[in-house]
Structure 1
Amino acid sequence: MPAENWLIQLNRESAEFARLYQERQEGKTVDRTLRIAVCGLMNAGKSALLNALTGHLENEFFETKAVRSTKTVQTLTHGGITYVDTPGIDANNEDDQHAWRGLATADIILFAHNLGTGTLETVEINFLNELKHRRPDIEDSLLVVLTHAESASEQRQDRLDAISAILSALFKAPRTLIPASFTTYRKGVLEQKPALIEHSGINVLHHHLKTLVERAESELHAVRRARDKQRLSKLEAIVDKAIAKRERTLAAVEAKQSQAFLVLSQSVNQLVSTTRERISRCETLESD
């Protein structure tokens, strides 16, 4: 079978193979600019968060609306970093696929959760589990940002404790939770009120992000190469499994054919033996 046909067949047979192969191909086209992607449920405040990080407070680059606005991956290079906005998870299958593609080439991932809605939902926990599966390096490259912090003042600590407990069960290392409010930050900047800016949590996010960025930039080539090697290893395992399956099928067919040939051979031998015996009897009768 030509290599192209074999590749097409594997893509059809295994969604995991198709995903990993696509991620490897896209990884080859990414330049050396550090990539920071934000992800989370629809209306988690992802776009507003990126607008705050890139200084787009009055003229939004990443569109924010009360309804679903980010339907595809959007990127902006600012300050030598490429920021990636992804569609909300669990909106529909197409949005999910776009979101995962945006995260596949990210060097740092910000997971945004709307603190005003309470603790993490099941879909968010499932997403983080899948993220761990797809990105084994996520322990060192994930920041959890709790947006809309201004809307959870009374229940804030209880929700922080609940979210922290969930994340402790998901990850090996404790996650630093960063409550943030774009609304408070925007008001503080536009009205030149340092207290509001400090209270917004955006400066705290900048501090943690700076630490991650400095480390990621120093290890960028090695980490990306290791990520590509992990994907290649998984692809090879899927190919080996597919080959083993085909070899078992071939062996079964050969065994079946061998058995059929044996039965046919025995039948022919029996026919020949019976025919010779009857011819011999006829010759004996004629001679008598």
Structure 2
Amino acid sequence: MDQTTQLNALEAECELFASQCKDASPVKPRIAAWGLVKAGKSSLLNMLSGHASEEHFLTGDVRITRMNQTLELDDYVLVDTPGLGYDKDDTQQAEQGLDTADVVLFVHAPPGELDQEEVSLLDQLRNAYGQDVGERVVLVISQLDKLQDADLATVQGTIERQALIHLGTAPECFVISNTRFKSGVEKNKQGLCEKSGIPQLALHLKALSNNLTHSLVNARKQRQARRTQALCERIDAAIAQEIKLIAQITEPYVVKAEAFIEQLDGARRTFKTHTTDMQNARTKLDSLK
């Protein structure tokens, strides 16, 4: 990305942030599902919102969510974000969802631990929420049916260690199965629903949102202050880079101009000397008359 493109992107980001700060935020906490493409975010939000059979957040074999979508429930507002890492526009939408989220469901689909891109997202969450990151981020390992219990325990342990390293704290972690919960709902089997992990996560989010309600305005102000500082630092860095670039572009011409001025000064001194000599010679000639 060239300098002009970077400056335009930074300007657009600042304008968006300013508009977000002006908008009246909902009284209820905003809970955003965040993660890579096909991690099961939309399906999870359908299960949490009572749309196990009739989807509110569309799902499919290919990526469906390309814009942030919201759904207001009794205790909080759910935000479905596009999968990160697919393309620039999707990632930008997802990051806008993060900007206004009070809680993030960080959704990971096995097999395996968090990859480098997901680890970078954890770092981003730590910067966004500061010392509150422990209660503002909830780890969700989806698609538990794809792993044996021993493998699942290993994956969960590794992911929790990664979160501890990159978040600086150990957030709550839930292992869930959207398909198991949906099957339990459709077959009216409460035991199957309980084994999906979804009810336990729903209870945690309800308690978390109730605890956050009283401190929501102050927490949002603190998050906005951190974001403002980060943007100001990026603007200062961009200005410094622009000044450096201008200096690099103009330096050859400055050197040439300085050399040209020196030549002019030299010619002026030489001309003055020659003029003085000629005037002296003229004076001598005049004295001979």
- Where on the TM-score scale, by shorter chain, does this alignment land: which range? 0.7 to 0.9
Residues 263 and 235 (structure 1 numbering): CA distance in 2 closer, same or farther, change over 3 Å?
farther
Per-residue CA deviation, residues 57-102 of structure 1 (Å, 9 max, x unaligned), is 1110001112111121111112252211111111112211111112
C-alpha displacement of 1:215: 2.6
TM-score w.r.t. the length of structure 1 is 0.83
Partner of 1:172: 168
3-state DSSP of counterpart to 2:195:
helix
Provide the C-alpha distance between the structure 1 equivalents of 2:45 and 2:193, rounded to a whole number of angstroms.
16
Provide the C-alpha distance between the structure 2 equivalents of 1:69 and 1:77, rounded to a whole number of angstroms.
20
Provide the C-alpha distance between the structure 1 equivalents of 2:171 and 2:16, rounded to a whole number of angstroms.
30
C-alpha displacement of 1:227: 1.5
Residues 175 and 31 (structure 1 numbering): CA distance in 2 closer, same or farther, change over 3 Å?
closer
Provide the C-alpha distance between the structure 2 equivalents of 1:76 and 1:66, rounded to a whole number of angstroms.
22
Identity %: 29
C-alpha displacement of 1:43: 1.2
Provide the C-alpha distance between the structure 1 equivalents of 2:52 and 2:271, rounded to a whole number of angstroms.
93
Provide the C-alpha distance between the structure 2 equivalents of 1:249 and 1:44, rounded to a whole number of angstroms.
42
Between the two proteins, the alignment pairs up a number of residues equal to: 279
Contact kept in structure 2, 1:30 and 1:105, CA below 8 Å: no
Provide the C-alpha distance between the structure 1 equivalents of 2:211 and 2:275, rounded to a whole number of angstroms.
87
3-state DSSP of counterpart to 1:144:
strand
Provide the C-alpha distance between the structure 1 equivalents of 2:10 and 2:83, rounded to a whole number of angstroms.
22
Residues 275 and 38 (structure 1 numbering): CA distance in 2 closer, same or farther, change over 3 Å?
same
Unaligned runs of 5+ in 1: 1-8
Residues 186 and 23 (structure 1 numbering): CA distance in 2 closer, same or farther, change over 3 Å?
same
Bigger mean CA offset, 174-183 vs 43-52: 174-183
Bigger mean CA offset, 150-159 vs 15-24: 15-24
Partner of 2:86: 91
Matching residue within 100, 103, 109 for 1:105:
100
Residues 230 and 262 (structure 1 numbering): CA distance in 2 closer, same or farther, change over 3 Å?
farther
TM-score w.r.t. the length of structure 2 is 0.83
Amino acid at match of 1:279: Q
Provide the C-alpha distance between the structure 2 equivalents of 1:207 and 1:122, rounded to a whole number of angstroms.
31
Residues 251 and 149 (structure 1 numbering): CA distance in 2 closer, same or farther, change over 3 Å?
closer
Provide the C-alpha distance between the structure 2 equivalents of 1:250 and 1:85, rounded to a whole number of angstroms.
43
Contact kept in structure 1, 2:142 and 2:177, CA below 8 Å: yes
Amino acid at match of 1:95: D
Matching residue within 30, 34, 39 for 2:29:
34
C-alpha displacement of 1:241: 4.5
Amino acid at match of 1:190: E
Amino acid at match of 2:32: A
Provide the C-alpha distance between the structure 1 equivalents of 2:54 and 2:134, rounded to a whole number of angstroms.
34
Partner of 1:274: 274
Per-residue CA deviation, residues 251-274 of structure 1 (Å, 9 max, x unaligned), is 999999789767645653443343
Amino acid at match of 1:215: N
